Amino acid sequence: MTAVRMRGVVKRYGGFTALDDVNLELRENTVHGLLGRNGAGKTTIMQILTGQGFETAGEVEVFGLHPYENPTVLDRVCFIREAQKYPDSFRVRDALSAAAMLYPNWDADLAASLVEEFHLRTRQTIKKLSRGQLSAVGVIIGLASRAPLTFFDEPYLGLDAVARQLFYDRLLTDYAAHPRTIVLSTHLIDEVSDLIEHVVVIDKGRILMDEDADVLRGRAVTVTGPAAAVKAFAAGHTELHREELGGFLRVTLEGADPDTRLRSEGLEFEPVSLQQLVVRTTQLATEPRRENHDGREVAAR
Amino acid sequence: MTAAPHLAPSALHTPGRRRRPLAVARMQLINLPVQLGMPWLILALAFAINLVIFALVPDPPAGEPKVTGGLLSIYIFVVVAHLVTMTQVFPFALGLSVTRRDFFTGTALFVLAQAAVQGLLLTLLLVLEEATGGWGMGLHFFGVPFLVQQNWVLQWLVYTVPFLLFSFVSILAGTIYKRFGQLGMWTASIGLLLAGGIAAVLLTWQQAWPAVGRFFSDTPAAVLFAGYPAVLAALAAGVAYLFLRRATV
């Protein structure tokens, strides 16, 4: 079943095109990673899917219906934004009790245990929380809402590494017990790469990559070795990235299988992390001429 | 351990679709100390200050009532409170998957209840004021002379309806800000100023000011403070809802 469907979606702000012909389908009961640089259009997509923003053109369906002003859809949707606003006078407990009233599947026990684990004090005024604690409030609402479709838009801002791991762990545990559709928008791709089952990469308002994570994990490989041998191996494959240092060459190739027999020629093969693949693919889309350069590239920083 | 502690909560709860406006109204109640506590505290302070002042100053010449405008503070307060409703509670609610329609319905319910309760409290305080002969010193704090009605229902309306007008005009202003930003606020303010200016020019040119004065003195207070404000409040609410339909946060 499909939870989300976007067809030919365009969003313009005045003369600026934020989304350009976006076609997207998100499977139900899957953890999706929505990845992309700042300003790529991730938040815009999520705003449109939650009825908070309006598309300029195209078709949008969430659980088969348009989300705008649609309580049937929105009762099943939770959108936790990095920039979620809370009334100044609200304490942590006020925000949680408001969420409890609004989300039909709210789990108060889960919320209470998360409050403890994130070291929040429910009587504290939200306005006075640190950035990390503020993020924790959003994370708690997002998890405890148990909404069939939950969006997390960079929910970790200011959270320390331990708290982020706590979020990932709790997300995974709760997802296993209560399968639902989760869309995780993040910059920290390495941290969530074990979590994501499906990857969508967006750049400058266009979908760049839309694949299952398992497919992507084997998609690229990095080869290092003497320049001549690496060039011979690389011939015929799409080159995502190249670094050269002295007589040694290091290239990231798409669609190439590591050939261990070539180790004798001094070639070394390394798997490419999801983060590297996303970064390289995005860079390639930004500077398409890069792959035709030959030997001129200096090691990228 | 009991079995099956993770019984799906969705099976136990009915989706809160029809309850959503009520949930929004209850969300305002979370703010009860701010929404109702603060204004009455301020009004109580204003009242106390007036009591002291009128106890200290010599009595005015016979026949002149001891009148004060302290009552206005509580009406100003709903303006401030509902600007906060639109600039802070609305983005919060929209972020929690509330539709704009449900937010508006819930907020309107809250405004109606808030106005009714505050109107009732003021009416009761007026009863007390009259029973104590103006708190023992002939002070008209709640019974501002032109507001006093012979009929208690009318009295309640005269107190209540202005709350509605102040609240919905404030909600309209907040909505304009949310929908059109600062430019919208400037445009609305300048437009209002221009309209007022043009009206003043026309009235002066047509030498129609006495007619305006007559309108205010001839119209019964109940119509002036309950009738017309009710119409204006409904108008402000309607326009606010139209703007809110496409507002973003």
Write out the DSSP string of A69-119.
Answer: T-HHHHTTEEEEETT----TT-BHHHHHHHHHHH-TT--HHHHHHHHHHTT
| List of chain A residues whose C-beta atoms are within 8 Å of the C-beta of residue B93 | 98
Task: Write the DSSP symbol of residue B189.
Answer: H
The answer to which of A40-44, A249-253, B8-12 has the lowest mean pLDDT is B8-12
| List of chain B residues whose C-beta atoms are within 8 Å of the C-beta of residue A81 | 95
Written as six digits, the tokens of B109 are: 């319910």
B186-219 pLDDT, tens digit per residue, is 999 999 999 999 999 999 998 888 888 988 888 8
**Interatomic CA distance for residues A114 and B89, integer angstroms:** 24
Q: Nearest chain B residue to A105 by CA: give it.
A: B10
| List of chain B residues whose C-beta atoms are within 8 Å of the C-beta of residue A53 | 248
Is residue B246 less than 8 Å (CB to CB) from chain A? Answer: yes
Distance from CA of A85 to the nearest CA of B (A): 5
Please give the pLDDT value at position A164: 92
Is residue B31 less than 8 Å (CB to CB) from chain A? Answer: yes
Distance from CA of B74 to the nearest CA of A (A): 19
Question: Does B10 contact A78 at a Cβ distance shorter than 8 Å?
Answer: no
Please give the pLDDT value at position A294: 45
Rg of the Cα atoms in chain B? 22
For the four alpha carbons of A232, A234, A237 and A239, in that order, the dihedral sign comes to negative
Q: Nearest chain A residue to B35 by CA: give it.
A: A89
Mean pLDDT of chain A: 88
A218-273 pLDDT, tens digit per residue, is 788 888 888 888 888 888 888 888 888 888 889 988 877 777 777 777 888 888 88
Is residue B178 less than 8 Å (CB to CB) from chain A? Answer: no
Q: A281 pLDDT band (50/70/90 cuts)?
A: confident
**Interatomic CA distance for residues B215 and B223, integer angstroms:** 11
- pLDDT of residue B10 exceeding 70, the answer is no
**Interatomic CA distance for residues B130 and B42, integer angstroms:** 22
CB atoms within 10 A of CB B81: 21
Mean pLDDT of B112-128: 93
| Distance (Å) of CA B7 to CA A29, A96, A192 | 19, 21, 29
Please give the pLDDT value at position A296: 43
In this chain, the answer to whether the domains covering A2-215 and A218-292 adopt an identical fold is no
Q: What is the Cβ-side half-sphere exposure of residue A225, based on CA atoms within 13 angstroms?
A: 19
Question: Does B14 contact A104 at a Cβ distance shorter than 8 Å?
Answer: yes
Question: Who among A71, A147, A177 is closest to B6 (CB)?
Answer: A177
Q: Are strands A220-226 and A206-212 parallel, antiparallel or unpaired?
A: unpaired
Size of interface A-B (CB pairs under 8 A): 96
Please give the pLDDT value at position B62: 66
Is residue B248 less than 8 Å (CB to CB) from chain A? Answer: yes
Q: Does domain A218-292 have CATH number 3.30.420?
A: no
SS3 category, A290: helix
| List of chain B residues whose C-beta atoms are within 8 Å of the C-beta of residue A50 | 97
Please give the pLDDT value at position A297: 42
> Do residues A293 and A242 touch, judged by C-beta distance below 8 A?
yes
Tell me which CATH code domain A2-215 carries.
Answer: 3.40.50.300
Is residue B26 less than 8 Å (CB to CB) from chain A? Answer: yes
Distance from CA of B99 to the nearest CA of A (A): 5
Please give the pLDDT value at position B23: 86
Please give the pLDDT value at position B61: 67
Please give the pLDDT value at position A95: 94
Is residue B20 less than 8 Å (CB to CB) from chain A? Answer: yes
Please give the pLDDT value at position A82: 85
Question: Who among A87, A102, A107 is closest to B23 (CB)?
Answer: A102
- pLDDT of residue A158 exceeding 50, the answer is yes
Residue A46's nearest CA partner among A29, A31, A34, A57 is A34
Distance from CA of B244 to the nearest CA of A (A): 11
Question: Does B34 contact A178 at a Cβ distance shorter than 8 Å?
Answer: no
Which is higher by pLDDT, A109 or B38? A109
pTM, rounded to two decimals: 0.86
| List of chain B residues whose C-beta atoms are within 8 Å of the C-beta of residue A90 | 30-31, 92
Is residue B6 less than 8 Å (CB to CB) from chain A? Answer: yes
Question: Who among B9, B91, B94 is closest to A107 (CB)?
Answer: B9
Q: Where are the domains of chain A?
A: 2-215, 218-292
For the four alpha carbons of A74, A68, B246 and B234, in that order, the dihedral sign comes to negative
Please give the pLDDT value at position B18: 52
Return the ∠ at Cα A253 (arms to A186 and A215), rounded to 5°: 55
Is residue B245 less than 8 Å (CB to CB) from chain A? Answer: yes
**Interatomic CA distance for residues B159 and A181, integer angstroms:** 51
Q: A288 pLDDT band (50/70/90 cuts)?
A: low
Question: Does A90 contact B246 at a Cβ distance shorter than 8 Å?
Answer: no
Q: Nearest chain A residue to B91 by CA: give it.
A: A85
The answer to which of A177-186, A190-199, A278-287, B111-120 has the lowest mean pLDDT is A278-287
Question: Does A99 contact B246 at a Cβ distance shorter than 8 Å?
Answer: no
- pLDDT of residue B143 exceeding 80, the answer is yes
Please give the pLDDT value at position A4: 94
Please give the pLDDT value at position A77: 95
CB atoms within 10 A of CB A265: 14
Please give the pLDDT value at position A113: 95
Mean pLDDT of chain B: 85
B157-194 pLDDT, tens digit per residue, is 999 999 999 999 999 999 999 999 999 999 999 999 99
